[in-house]
Amino acid sequence: MHSLKDQQLVKNFSYINGSWHSSETNLAVNNPATGELVANVSNAGIAETELAIKAAKSAYKMWSGKSANERAVLMRNWFNLMMEHQDDLGKILTLEQGKPLAEAKGEIAYGAAFIEWFAEEGKRVYGDTIPAPANDKRIVVIKQPVGVVASITPWNFPNAMIARKAAAALAAGCTFVVRPATQTPLSALAMAELAERAGIPAGVFNVVVGDDARGMGKVLTEHPDVAKFTFTGSTPVGKALISQCASTVKKVSMELGGNAPFIVFADADLDAAVQGALASKYRNAGQTCVCTNRILVHQDVMEAFSEKFAQAVSTLSMGNGLHEDVNVGPMISEQAVADVQTLVDESINMGAKVILGGKIEQAGSCFYQPTILTNVTNDMPVASNEIFGPVSPLISFANEAEALALANDTEYGLAAYFYSRDIGVIWRVAEGLEFGMIGINEGIISNAAAPFGGVKQSGNGREGSKYGLDDYMEIKYLCMGGIDK
C-alpha cells in the first residue's frame, strides 16, 4: 500500500484474543476518491463475533484485576505508538475513508488523545462515603467496571470513534469488542496491531470485521455475556439496537444523528461566524453528526453574511484527500451523494435558491460540490433531515425567540452553535437550546476533555471527559453494620 513507513500496520484479518483470524470470504475496501481497491479484508461473521465475546469475557478478570496505574502504562504505550505512526495511520484512513490527509492525521491525534486522557482519568475513579441514618452503620460507595463492552462504530471517524469508546472502557477495567464499519476496517485493524505492540493483553481489545450487519449486531446486542453496548450511527439503527439490548437489560450508550443549528445574531462578528460555519459544516465533507445542518441568520445581516460565506466556501478545494491543498474530500459512496442531491432538488422545488454548488462534482462519482442554498425554510427536506453532506441551507429569522423556536424544532438534540457578543443573548440562548453540546462563538467543539453526547433522539450517555468514564462503571453501595458496640 501507498508508501507507508510501516507496512505491518495494514492487516486483513479480524483481531480476536490476540490473534489474526482469516475467514472463507473477503470484503473489498475501496477508496471513495478513485473507486480503486485498497485492500481485501477477511469477512468474519456470527461465529467470530461470539469468539470475540468469549475472549473478552475470559480476559475480563485479569484486566479488571490490574491496578489503574498498570492499565495506564499500557494505554500510554498505545497512545505513544499511535502518535509515532500518525503519518501512516492518517494515510490508511484517507485511503479508505476519503477525508483530506491533514484532517485524517488530525483524527489520529484526536483519537489518540482519548487514550491518553482516559489512561490518566482511570486513576481518579473515586468512590464516596455517605453519612448513615444510624450510628451503627456506615455507607460506602465504590465504582466497578461494567464487564464486557460491545460496540458498533461508523465510517466517518474510523479511528476516533473506536478510540473514544475503547479508551474509556479499558481505563475503567472493561474488555472490549468492536465491529467497525465495513467501509473502513483498516484503521480499526491498525489500532489492534498497535494495541498488541503496546502490550495490551490478548482478549482485552478485539476487532471483528464482517458485512453481516444484522447477524453480528444481534450477537453484540443480545449476548448474555455482554454487559454494555455502545453505538455511534444513525438514529433509526440506534433505536433498533436499543430494543435488541432490552432482552438482557444491557447498559446502553448511543451517539446518534444530529441536526445542528448554527445561529448568527445581528451583533455577531460576521468574519468569525463565517470561519466557524466553514469549519463546522465542511469538516469531513459535511459527514459528521455535529456538522452544522442549518444556518439561521438574522434578517439584518443575511445579505452580508451570505456574501462573505459564499466567498469563503468558493475557495474550498475539492479532490482526492491524498493530494496537497485539498480541503474537501469525497463522500463515502455514490448512494450518499445521490441522497444529498435528492434533498437539494426537493428543497429547490419548494423554493430554495442555489447560490453556490448544487451539483455532483466532475472530480468523481463520490464528490458533491460545496453548496449554499438560500430562501430555505425549516420544513424543507434540506433543513428537516440530517444532510450528512457539504450543503449549507441559510434560513432567515427576525428575533431571538424565533431563532430559538426554529433551532429547537427538530427531534434531534446533539450539537448547536451560535454567534453573538451580547452576554444576555449568550446565556438565554445557551440555556434555551435543547441540545447536549453548544458552541458559543466557536464552530469546533470536540475534544477528549469535554462530554460529547446528545439529548432527545440524538442519544444518551456521554463520551470523553470524566462523565464518559461513568458510562463504563457500575455504582456499588456497601452498607456496613454492627459498628457501634
* Residues belonging to the active site: 255, 289
Nearer to ligand SIN, 361 or 463 (CB): 463
CB of 75 to ligand SIN, least distance (A): 20
Nearer to ligand SIN, 358 or 464 (CB): 464
The b/e string for 200-226 (b: 16+ C-beta within 10 A; e otherwise) is: bbbbbbbbbbbebeeebbebbbbbeeb
Stretch that binds ligand SIN, among 25-33, 42-50, 287-295, 469-477 (CB under 6 A): 287-295
Residue 446 as a binder of ligand SIN (CB under 6 A): the answer is yes
Nearer to ligand SIN, 217 or 443 (CB): 443
Residue 296 as a binder of ligand SIN (CB under 6 A): the answer is no
Q: How far apart, in whole angstroms, are the C-alpha atoms of residue 64 and residue 287?
A: 36
Residues in the chain: 485
Nearer to ligand SIN, 72 or 82 (CB): 82
Task: List own/partner pairs for 422-426 with CB under 8 A and 24 or more apart.
Answer: 422/265, 422/267, 425/265, 425/267, 425/400
Task: List own/partner pairs for 422-425 with CB under 8 A and 24 or more apart.
Answer: 422/265, 422/267, 425/265, 425/267, 425/400
Cβ(96)–Cβ(186) below 8 Å: yes
Q: Half-sphere exposure of residue 449, counting CA atoms within 13 Å on the CB side?
A: 0
Nearer to ligand SIN, 218 or 466 (CB): 466
Helix (H) or strand (E) holding 264: strand 260-264
Cα–chain-centroid distance for residue 465?
A: 14
Cβ(387)–Cβ(292) below 8 Å: no
CB of 281 to ligand SIN, least distance (A): 13
CB of 89 to ligand SIN, least distance (A): 17
Please report, as residue ranges, which positions from 241 to 270 form the binding site for ligand SIN (by CB under 6 A): 255
Grid cell locating 415: 450539537
Choose, by CB under 6 A, the member of 63, 117, 118, 157 that binds ligand SIN: 157
Stretch that binds ligand SIN, among 234-242, 285-293, 313-321, 473-481 (CB under 6 A): 285-293
CB of 363 to ligand SIN, least distance (A): 23
Continuous H helices in 28-139: 46-65, 68-84, 86-97, 101-121
Residue 231 as a binder of ligand SIN (CB under 6 A): the answer is no
- Site mask, ligand SIN, residues 399-438, x = CB under 6 A? ----------------------------------------
Stretch that binds ligand SIN, among 286-294, 328-336, 350-358, 419-427 (CB under 6 A): 286-294
Stretch that binds ligand SIN, among 264-272, 283-291, 339-347, 377-385 (CB under 6 A): 283-291
Residue 163 as a binder of ligand SIN (CB under 6 A): the answer is no
DSSP 299-335: GGGHHHHHHHHHHHHHT--BS-TTSTT--B---S-HH
Residue 156 as a binder of ligand SIN (CB under 6 A): the answer is yes
Choose, by CB under 6 A, the member of 43, 151, 244, 288 that binds ligand SIN: 288
Choose, by CB under 6 A, the member of 232, 259, 347, 465 that binds ligand SIN: 232
Amino acid at 362: Q
| Residue closest to ligand SIN, measured at CB | 446
CB of 355 to ligand SIN, least distance (A): 26
- Which of 367, 371, 376 shows the shortest CA–CA distance to 348? 376
Burial class (CB in 10 A: 0-12, 13-18, 19+), 59: buried
The b/e string for 35-50 (b: 16+ C-beta within 10 A; e otherwise) is: eeebbebbbbbeebbb
Q: How far apart, in whole angstroms, are the C-alpha atoms of residue 198 and residue 205?
A: 12
Choose, by CB under 6 A, the member of 289, 313, 318, 382 that binds ligand SIN: 289
200 DSSP 8-state letter: P
Q: How far apart, in whole angstroms, are the C-alpha atoms of residue 466 and residue 471?
A: 10
Nearer to ligand SIN, 165 or 223 (CB): 165
CB of 452 to ligand SIN, least distance (A): 6
Stretch that binds ligand SIN, among 31-39, 191-199, 282-290, 470-478 (CB under 6 A): 282-290
CB of 288 to ligand SIN, least distance (A): 3
**Which spans of this chain sit near ligand SIN (rule: CB under 6 A)?**
156-157, 232, 255, 288-290, 446, 452
